[in-house]
Amino acid sequence: MGQYLIRRLLTAIPTIIIISFIIFLILDMAPGDPTASLPMTIPQEVREQIRESLGLGQPFHIRYGKFMKQFFWSEPLNILEEMTGAQIGDPNRLRLRSWQTRSPVIDLITDRTPQTLWVVGLSYVIAVLLAIPLGTISAIRQYSIFDQLGTVFSIIGYSVPTFFTGLLLIIIFSVRLGWFPSYYDTTLVVHDWPSFVKQIKQMIMPVSVLALFQTAAISRYTRSAVLDNLKQDYVRTAYAKGFREHVVVVRHVLRNSLIPVITLIALGIPQIFAGAIITEQIFRVNGLGELLIRAIQGSDVPLVMTLTLIFAILIVFFNLIADIIYGILDPRIRYG
């Protein structure tokens, strides 16, 4: 296992470098100007000076090298210094800053992360906890009423877009009934019971929208995987030995069925940090998805590059985690 992890990590390094180069190249070729949002009264000469101060007049390879140095070297040291209070290395090293706000990129991301984790993260946890039992029971009780209802639920949940579901919930529960707020108040601070209740109320609708969509996808995948394993010889052998149904399902069928499901779940975790762009726009959640949209609209290359590269690193990391879980679920899998 140790040698396998070392090989995967060594493979991940060039993979991330290639991804970063492609992302930077695409952003460099994309149309857009960071000075476009400035007032029209600003002279062209001043705009050119601003572009030069942002380093846009330098060659591509120099700008790419500076970004990589700041992302993988300067920023981790800056964060470590903030955590420990100790001076490490060169005190004059630069920080990655947003072209729009001139604030450190890491600070912008850390400020938005809690909102994204509260909404998108909680919805994903709920979806996983609901989808696996629903998919398993639907497969065991194939063609039953429960299976048919689960199929209808999955088709509706996966087919209806989240922007339609979100608007529908706002019309019913906010406009008509007035039960929940139509937007997410990111300035709310939970310090007592009434504020906690308010926080729960404003989370219910966006979490429900995302959980419905994610539960539908994972439950169908789980049902298909369980159905495939129910037809295997080892299941008939377990029943022939006199094992009870719940023992066969939990200890044998579900354990083997989770191997492909784990891939779907693990690769979906980075989407939590990427944010739910559409849902965040509908409920006005100032999360990472909304931050990415604003950065793209403002041609804020440092912020867009940092966010997308973080997402790419998370995908590579959780893909490795999924491979490790394979070996835990199935003892036949060995890593040499």
CB burial of residue 6 (10 Å; 0-12, 13-18, 19+): exposed
pLDDT > 70? residue 134? yes
Which amino acid makes up residue 100?
Answer: Q
- pLDDT at site 275: 54
Q: What is the mean pLDDT of the chain?
A: 78
pLDDT band (50, 70, 90) for residue 85: low
Region of poorest pLDDT, from 33-42, 283-292, 295-304: 33-42
Measured CA angle at 55 (ends 51, 58), to 5 deg: 110
pLDDT band (50, 70, 90) for residue 75: low
pLDDT > 70? residue 296? yes
pLDDT > 70? residue 21? yes
- pLDDT at site 88: 62
Cα–Cα nearest to 5, from 310, 331, 323, 328: 323
- pLDDT at site 329: 65
Domains of the chain (ranges, CATH numbers): 105-329 (1.10.3720.10)
Mean pLDDT value of segment 287-312 = 81
pLDDT in tens, 257-291: 877 788 788 777 777 666 567 777 788 777 777 78
- The more confidently predicted of residues 117 and 77 is 117
pLDDT band (50, 70, 90) for residue 79: low
Which amino acid makes up residue 323?
Answer: D
pLDDT > 60? residue 336? no
Cα 181 from Cα 170, distance rounded (Å): 8
Region of poorest pLDDT, from 190-194, 241-245, 301-305: 241-245
Mean pLDDT value of segment 182-193 = 77
Ordered DSSP codes for 174-220 = IIIS--S-SS--TT----SHHHHHHHHHHHHHHHHHHHHHHHHHHHH
- pLDDT at site 94: 66
- pLDDT at site 226: 83
pLDDT > 60? residue 335? no
Query: Per-residue b/e over 37-50, b at no fewer than 16 CB within 10 Å?
Result: eeeeeeeeeeeeeb
Cα 90 from Cα 96, distance rounded (Å): 15
Residues in Cβ contact with 134 at an 8 Å cutoff, skipping those fewer than 6 apart: 150, 215, 219, 222, 223
* Coil, helix or strand at residue 256: helix
224 Cα distance to chain centroid: 24
Residues in Cβ contact with 83 at an 8 Å cutoff, skipping those fewer than 6 apart: none
Mean pLDDT value of segment 77-100 = 65
First-last CA distance in the chain:
7
Output DSSP code: residue 172.
Answer: I
Length of the chain, in residues = 336
Measured CA angle at 281 (ends 280, 285), to 5 deg: 45
Mean pLDDT value of segment 162-177 = 85
Cα 98 from Cα 37, distance rounded (Å): 14
Phi, psi (5° rounding) for residue 54?
-85, -5
- pLDDT at site 121: 82
- pLDDT at site 266: 79
pLDDT in tens, 231-252: 777 777 877 877 777 777 777 7
Cα 101 from Cα 95, distance rounded (Å): 13
